[in-house]
Chain A
Amino acid sequence: GQQVMQIPQYQHVQEGEDFTTYCNSSTTLSNIQWYKQRPGGHPVFLIQLVKSGEVKKQKRLTFQFGEAKKNSSLHITATQTTDVGTYFCAGRGTALIFGKGTTLSVSS
């Protein structure tokens, strides 16, 4: 069945360093969504990518959707302590399947 893999599982960075998480699907996706879950909170929608090769930016966050629509990445430039949390990708094929997430910790 459809699987969405996300790496790395954990990432620790110093404040100011960049961070990237990668998402790979076993099947071609209709779209991909990204969510952020703060510690003790619930997943919150960040963005949706639909087109092949699409790149979207939200301030320091850059989201990319691969040309084959099977992979995606989230890049954070100059991380801040407010960026801590778990970032999930969710790929839509026949259903919306969440990756296991990348947990980001940031030390100041």
Chain B
Amino acid sequence: DSGVTQTPKHLITATGQRVTLRCSPRSGDLSVYWYQQSLDQGLQFLIQYYNGEERAKGNILERFSAQQFPDLHSELNLSSLELGDSALYFCASSGPGQGAEGTQYFGPGTRLTVL
């Protein structure tokens, strides 16, 4: 158990819909990262938040957005869903450094299926 929690574990929805994925980092970790993992693209970095502020952006679509709340949990919002958005979405957290330095601890992931 990494100490990072993600909900829900599975999510099935239809095209055009909007969903919210939730992540709680390890106690004391200030950075939260979101990744998308699909079979053909591997682990794609989406976005990083540090202590409530956006720190780094990767290959995140405009239909996707995220935020980190004062209690440090984070939410990833996916809208106007397409079939190609079906993937495993991981959240990871790391220690007090602001950059993507040090170990990243991954949550169990949310499997999103878009029908």
Contact = CB atoms under 8 A, between A and B. Distances in A.
Nearest to A42: B106
Given A95-B58, A98-B45, A100-B42, A42 B107 contact: yes
Interface in A86-108: 88, 90, 92, 95-101
A45 B107 CA distance: 12
B43 A98 contact: yes
A96 B90 contact: no
B45 A96 contact: yes
Interface residues of A, number: 20
A44 interface: yes
Interface of B: 2, 33, 35, 41-45, 48, 56, 58, 90, 92, 99-109
Contacts, number: 51
B56 to A, nearest CB: 5
B106 A43 contact: yes
Contact of A44 (B2, B41, B45, B102): B2
Contacts of A43: 43, 90, 92, 104, 106
Contacts of A98: 35, 42-45
